[in-house]
Structure 1
Amino acid sequence: MEFTAGGRLEVRISPSDVGKRVSVRRLSDPGAGQEKFTDTVGVLTSWNEGVLLITRRTGETVRIPESSLVAGKVVPAAPARRRGPAAGFEELAGVMARAWQPVESEALGAWTLRAAGGFTRRANSVLPLGDPGMPLDDALAHARGWYEARNLPAYVQVATGAEGTQEQLCAALEERGWRREVTAEVRIGALAPVADLETGTGTEGVRLSRSPGEPWLRRYQRVGVPGPHVLHVLGSGPSVWFASLPGEGDDVPAAIGRCVVDGRWAGFMAVEVDPASRRQGLGTAVMAALARRALEEGASAAWLQVEADNGGALALYEGMGFATHHLYHHFRSPDPGT
């Protein structure tokens, strides 16, 4: 990381740069006999009373005393992508929301409050794509009341790590005691290479349908007995396809998957494989079959979501050509009285 300008370290940021992506170097242990420096890159989310808050792409907020700064500068809003389709955050956020729709929703300015009987945080959280039309504390209070009326915890889904994402809201929620529970990566890639993936299993045995069917649901691990709210969410989207790869019997498939085609995008979800049949290419076969159908419908780009601590899935998707676009986090409201 290069900070020098004519051989000198310079602090070239100020409180007027709040909201911009910055890179700073600070003295990490001012009392030590030997100087030690720490570098931080992220969005400058506040600069008040001699303390900077910088939110990294991971959603973590770092507090930095102004007195410890030795260098700082504004850097490009997002790193240049080396592969994959070009995509803005707002476009992707809209595509992902249409692929996993709640049972009920309410607009709060540019925010959307979503509920689906508690089935997944994605369908039971606030999607804050803009200004709620009122002060933040009032908007959060309204959201808490809305979810309380439905006997649900209040969550806000916040994105970080790309141009136009919501680092400032992320920091504001942390300051108000909201707790980050889950972080997921949104990965994107070209669709054709997924369709061309070769597996030992092949894609000939993969069955595609417009509805999940009882065998598909028996393999799906997110719920026990799915109610109407689960079927609503699974069936939502512009063009929804379900894939099943039969096992030894027809009662439970060896592998399943779901794909939603929306314009140029194909989103992959619910890819699950029988634990006894893993590492045989079954999940890859399901994705390849879904990708071929999506290509027939005119899609050219692919996206998926994977939890940030799922190392096996991250490695698999990396090998398929998927690169991280941004991250999103679900923040849960603090308990009443805390």
Structure 2
Amino acid sequence: MLGRGPVEARPEVRIGRSDVGRRVSVRRVDSVADGRPVFRDVIGVLTSWDGAGLTVEPRTGGPVRFAEELLVAGKPVPAFPARRAAAPAATPEALQRTASRGWPAVEREQLGEWTLRAAAGFTKRANSVQALGDPGLPLDEALARADAWYAARGLPLHAEVTVPGSPDGLDALLGPAITPTLVRTAPLGALARAGRPADVRLSRTAGPEWLPLYGLADDDPARAAALRVLHGGPSVWFARVEGPDSAPLAIGRAAVDGPWACFSAIETAPAARRRGLATAVMAALAARAAEEGATGAYLQVEADNAGAIALYDGLGFTTSHTYHYARLPQR
């Protein structure tokens, strides 16, 4: 079965390098026994195809990489058929901690049950103290300790105050609320079946075609930290819908963590809005998360973002809880 000529000459191979990012089914020569080839099949996302071979990421077990000459058959296949199931139960505190793993800071340090997080100033979420539970000190002393930690990194202290979840009396020691945010959840299966089909491509990295629409410039001083945050998390996927010039019309990110998938960075190019592309991106990410075993979706949206809230209402999201940021009145 080896050396059958170029891939284009193999009638059973109906995929090519242009299919990178799509879900595929492939058959390959895995080994040779008694002079005969042993075949293996794999279904998953085709994440790369280059001179070194192909990589397919199946549902479980890690990436499968093999030489192009071992490819026997291949074809695109539909998205994973996510089952209908309710979103898992989770307290606001548990969901906030899951969210922190899905958007992990570059630096983390525990202060009792609180978590100090820093990432060169890239997003408040990755540069704030997650004030959940007991810090092991009186609140004013805990805030002073946290303030010194952030000052040593040239950052202001922002506290993430979760309602419910953060200690009683914390808000009284802080300044006005900043960026009130809704945490919204939905069943993942329904989200995976939402919207009109679109050619959504998935990848494990936020490549140069993805980052500009997200707004991360090459000369951004926090770029290195931002890339670490974006690519951090238990199982991170990036999605994009490409336009005629290969520039993305819509993008998104999902971090799969057990039963939950966190959705973030859902962006649509201004000229491509109101075409259902954001929904298509989320549906593709949801299908992949369901393939990995997740059953619930969650996201965080600022309370004054009426357009995004309306979109998420239509996709079945409801509010679990809220949080906001606040600073100490003065250093």
Match runs of 1:236-247 below 5 Å: 236-247=232-243
The question of 1:92 aligning with 2:95 is answered yes
Counterpart of 2:305, as a letter, is: N
Percent identity over the alignment is 51
The residue number in structure 1 matching 2:205 is 211
Q: Deviations over 1:217-260 (max 9, x none)?
A: 0110266645210100000110000001102212x300000001
CA distance 1:177–1:86, change in 2 (3 Å)? closer
CA distance 1:184–1:224, change in 2 (3 Å)? farther
Cα distance in 2 for partners of 1:234, 1:326 equals: 24
Cα distance in 2 for partners of 1:285, 1:192 equals: 14
Match runs of 1:122-133 below 5 Å: 122-133=125-136
The question of 1:318 aligning with 2:318 is answered no
The residue number in structure 2 matching 1:168 is 168
Cα distance in 2 for partners of 1:177, 1:324 equals: 25
Cα distance in 1 for partners of 2:219, 2:237 equals: 21
The residue number in structure 2 matching 1:192 is 189
Say if 1:84 and 1:322, in contact at 8 Å, map to a contact too: no
The question of 1:335 aligning with 2:326 is answered no
Cα distance in 2 for partners of 1:84, 1:243 equals: 22
What secondary structure does 1:266 align onto? strand
Counterpart of 1:185, as a letter, is: L
Q: CA deviation at 1:177?
A: 4.2
The residue number in structure 2 matching 1:39 is none
The question of 1:113 aligning with 2:107 is answered no
The question of 1:303 aligning with 2:306 is answered no
The residue number in structure 2 matching 1:230 is 226
Say if 1:191 and 1:299, in contact at 8 Å, map to a contact too: yes
Q: Deviations over 1:289-336 (max 9, x none)?
A: 101111110111110110000001101101100000000101112223
The question of 1:179 aligning with 2:176 is answered yes
Say if 1:179 and 1:333, in contact at 8 Å, map to a contact too: no
The alignment covers a number of residue pairs equal to 244
| Superposition RMSD in Å | 1.6
The residue number in structure 2 matching 1:21 is none
The one of 143, 147, 150 equivalent to 1:147 is 150
Say if 1:158 and 1:166, in contact at 8 Å, map to a contact too: yes
Normalised TM-score (structure 1): 0.69
Residue ranges of structure 2 left out of the alignment (5+ in a row): 1-85
Cα distance in 2 for partners of 1:94, 1:322 equals: 19
Residue ranges of structure 1 left out of the alignment (5+ in a row): 1-82
Say if 1:254 and 1:273, in contact at 8 Å, map to a contact too: yes
CA distance 1:261–1:275, change in 2 (3 Å)? same
Cα distance in 2 for partners of 1:132, 1:181 equals: 22
What secondary structure does 1:168 align onto? coil
Cα distance in 1 for partners of 2:266, 2:219 equals: 18
